[in-house]
Amino acid sequence: MSNAEKGSLYEEALKTLREAAAILKLEPEIVDAIANPEQALIVSIPIKMDNGKVKTFTGYRVHHSTARGPAKGGIRYHPNVCLDEVKSLAFWMSIKNAVVGIPYGGGKGGIACNPKEMSQGELERLTRGYSAAIARFVGSDIDIPAPDVGTNAQIMGWFADEYYKIAGKHEPGVITSKPLSIGGSLGRVTATGRGGFFVTVEAAKAFNIPLKGARVSIQGYGNVAQPIAQYLHELGCKIVAVSDSVGGVYNPEGMDPLKLVEYKEKTRSVKGFPESKEISTNDPLTVDCDILVPSALENQITKENADKIKAKIIVELANGPTTPEADKILQEKGVIVLPDVLANAGGVTVSYFEWVQNRMGYYWTEEEVDEKLKHVMTKAFKEVYEIAKQYKINLRTAAYTLAVKKIFEAMQALGRI
């Protein structure tokens, strides 16, 4: 039996796995073996807040699968982090890493906290506490964290430092997306957006959708979305709507993505950006556009709003932005969904490149990283697209079919199933 609770995010996440398993004709017992996470660690992290009081945070780290390699996936700092969410995110990492063919299983971690309300000192103490608490659960051949929502390169630096002290050695491959000065990779900051861009370009070719003049709408204008906005803009697309957790802006004539970044850096939100109309955080999902890029959190496109979506292509840079029910509605409407496990895999792919460089102790140029990323993303799109055509299924189920087959074969080769 799968250990997902009924109605949980994790149970929802397994639905596509079951569809792929049916295509691959896998027995239910085998599906359970693939679905269930291998290990989960829950830790308490008491830290001194700036006001002198102690506050205790709960942190998680889940190894969903290590069949294809060490667990790999980010760390999320967000108030809604819980075991169910981290399990789902870890599962998606196993699928994602298999889709792009990098030699990792899947893992994820997180802390229930609100980093926007914490000082740098508090964040550093929390990160060091978390690193110490999960140190025995991670390692460059065990489980390799990276950033996710609410975390960044600086947090990776603190995590690494604490780990090095406990391990008594320098081991940069223990965590990726580090600052360049301590073994980060060129091209990692823009990698998720860059990878999503390569997949979008391939999909536009495959489905005959012109990109020049295409109207783009983005929910969640953060680290992941800002680069793709820039690349699409350079190609002649118009950025007509963007939002973040505070609010959103709309201009049918298009907005300059770099000016939006500058404005957000100054005011902490895109809200109030000049020469635009104010919209809500969720409005970008349903505005009139050709390409929709959900780049915020899971469960944003639901059965309530799926029918109102006007985009021709959805590029899922967030993890799990579309519920299975919404997916069905989109498919009936003929919307092409470039699924998260493919569209946002550029980030973890360059994380892999960083890990490889750390292990070699030899570093690549930005051009080398970019060329390798393009190769991985283009190849993955083509493989997924071929499976979709072969079985007459959507790209998400096709991506899962590709991934589940690889995970199944690895588990079989190890003699685990």
Catalytic residue annotation: 108
Residue identified by tokens 């295409």 is 214
Q: Considering the complex, what minimum distance in angstroms separates the CB of residue 108 from ligand GLU?
A: 8
Q: What DSSP state is assigned to residue 5?
A: P
Nearer to ligand GLU, 101 or 247 (CB): 101
Smaller CB separation from ligand GLU, 102 or 388: 102
Residues forming the site for ligand GLU (CB under 6 A) = 72-74, 146, 148, 176-177, 319, 344, 347-348, 351
In sequence order, which residues have a C-beta less than 8 Å from that of residue 44 and are 6 or more positions away? Answer: 56, 57, 58, 59, 133
Q: How far apart are CA 106 and CA 104, in angstroms?
A: 6
Residue 222 CB, nearest distance to ligand GLU (Å)? 12
CA 122 from centre of chain: 25
Smallest gap from residue 287 Cβ to ligand GLU (A):
26
Q: Pick the closer one to ligand GLU by CB: 105 or 284.
A: 105
Minimum CB separation of residue 38 from ligand GLU in Å reads: 17
Type of residue found at 87: K
Q: How far apart are the first and last CA of the chain?
A: 15
Whether the Cβ atoms of residue 338 and residue 292 lie closer than 8 Å to each other: no
Question: Quick one: 319 or 401, whose CB is closer to ligand GLU?
Answer: 319
User: Is residue 179 a contact partner of residue 154, using CB atoms and an 8 Å limit?
Assistant: yes
Report the C-alpha gap between 71 and 158 in whole angstroms.
20
CA neighbor of 225 nearest in space, from 153, 278, 149: 149
Neighbours of 40 (CB within 10 A): 16
User: In whole angstroms, how close is the CB of 162 to ligand GLU at the nearest point?
Assistant: 18
Query: Which DSSP letter does residue 173 get?
Result: G
Q: Which residue is nearest to ligand GLU (CB)?
A: 74
CB closer to ligand GLU out of 21 and 93: 93
